[in-house]
Amino acid sequence: MLDIRVEETAKLKEKPDQSALGFGKYYTDYMFEIDWDKDQGGWHDARIIPYAPLQIDPATMVLHYAQETFEGLKAYRNPEGKVQLFRPEMNAKRMQNSNKRLCMPYLEVEDFVQAVSALVEHEKDWIPTAPETSLYIRPFMFASEPGVGVHPAVSYKFLIILTPVGNYYPEGVAPVKIWIEDEYVRAVKGGTGFTKCGGNYAGSLKAQEKAEAHGYTQVLWLDGNEKKYVEEVGSMNIMFLIDDTVVTAPTEGTVLPGVTRDSMLTILRDWGYKVEERKLPVEELMTAGREGRLKEAWGTGTAAVISPVGELYFKGEEVVLNDFKTGPLTQKLYDTLTGIQWGKLPDPHNWIKVID
């Protein structure tokens, strides 16, 4: 249990118009912060304080060596007006795994969930109520020790900030064009692909730029060793309906173990679908596309929930899926998962944590 003190501010911001929230445009009045210092015995001084810029030394190690991890989850208002989270312990555990890989200390699962719940509850007036909206929660942690030698830092800051959001894509759930990248790679065996660390994203921007220059929205990464198997999209896992089987990459070190991925696989198995977590060669995928056996494909992640794939591009060849329309299984998955998250459908797996 953390002992969290609250520092109130008299000056509250004006709440934004719920019909034009966008994604990550507005931040709430408060943030959570806790420090970790080796010479002070670890975690100390948990606090909810007014949202404000941080003041850090120019030598702060994260700015030089990128010892940083983060998480992303959402708080929802259910039809009774209660505030709920979706599987927050999974984010807590994943952040522990990220931090271990980057030689960083980590919060206990209960403490992570307590900190998230306490801040969300304090800021509950910021949870939007319009359809398709939620409060996006961004926990993150970084090396705060000043120094220019490479070593695991002896001090860290863990923070949580909140931003009310609408749809991730301004056009809503609509098919996207995906560029399968055959030059740059995101992750290799033994690397940091399974972690949510900022460095993974810095390294991915070049391919994203390239995809956009060719008129594509997102990059689909191949494995970093052979560039043969499909792994995941920029900030989403990806699933394919080939004939009557759902195929997705296994999470074996190079793929981020998404909470949305796990939840959708569970729902698909509940529905009796054949689900395969296996290495899928890009050649097999393109052949299935060419032969019309690739029925649907969709990206999965907390931010966008589901992103239908309308087109795949690989080495000069384009494959259009389902006439560039959202497929029936993709739509049903979106409706079911968001129905559970917004508290409109039953929650058979106890994924929802009502906090207030």
Ligand X SMILES: *Cc1c(COP(=O)(O)O)cnc(C)c1O
List the one residue from 260, 307, 326, 341 that touches ligand X (CB under 6 A): 260
Pick the stretch among 166-174, 234-242, 309-317, 323-331 that binds ligand X (CB under 6 A).
234-242
List the one residue from 301, 308, 310, 343 that touches ligand X (CB under 6 A): 301
**Binding status of residue 237 toward ligand X by CB under 6 A:** yes
| Site size for ligand X (CB under 6 A) | 14
The least distance separating ligand X from the CB of residue 9, rounded to whole angstroms, comes to 31
The least distance separating ligand X from the CB of residue 178, rounded to whole angstroms, comes to 14
Pick the stretch among 48-56, 61-69, 100-108, 229-237 that binds ligand X (CB under 6 A).
229-237
The least distance separating ligand X from the CB of residue 336, rounded to whole angstroms, comes to 15
**Binding status of residue 232 toward ligand X by CB under 6 A:** yes
Three-state DSSP string of the chain: CCCCEECCCCCCCCCCCHHHCCCCCCCCCEEEEEEEEHHHCEEEEEEEEECCCCCCCCCECHHHHCCEEECCEEEEECCCCCEEEECHHHHHHHHHHHHHHCCCCCCCHHHHHHHHHHHHHHCHHHCCCCCCCEEEEEEEEEECCECCCCCCCCEEEEEEEEEEECCCCCCCCCCEEEEECCCCCCCCCCCCCCCCEHHHHHCCHHHHHHHHHCCCCEEEEECCCCCCEEEEECCEEEEEEECCEEEECCCCCCCCCCHHHHHHHHHHHHCCCEEEECCEEHHHHHHHHHCCCEEEEEEEECCCEEEEEEEEEECCEEEECHHHCCCHHHHHHHHHHHHHHCCCCCCCCCCEEECC
The least distance separating ligand X from the CB of residue 304, rounded to whole angstroms, comes to 9
Pick the stretch among 175-183, 246-254, 255-263, 307-315 that binds ligand X (CB under 6 A).
255-263
Pick the stretch among 13-21, 270-278, 297-305, 337-345 that binds ligand X (CB under 6 A).
297-305
List the one residue from 165, 236, 297, 309 that touches ligand X (CB under 6 A): 236
List the one residue from 22, 72, 152, 253 that touches ligand X (CB under 6 A): 72
The least distance separating ligand X from the CB of residue 70, rounded to whole angstroms, comes to 9
The least distance separating ligand X from the CB of residue 329, rounded to whole angstroms, comes to 18
The least distance separating ligand X from the CB of residue 16, rounded to whole angstroms, comes to 23
**Binding status of residue 153 toward ligand X by CB under 6 A:** no
| Cβ proximity of 110 and 131 under 8 Å | no
Residue ranges binding ligand X (CB under 6 A)? 72, 196, 232, 235-237, 256, 258-261, 300-302
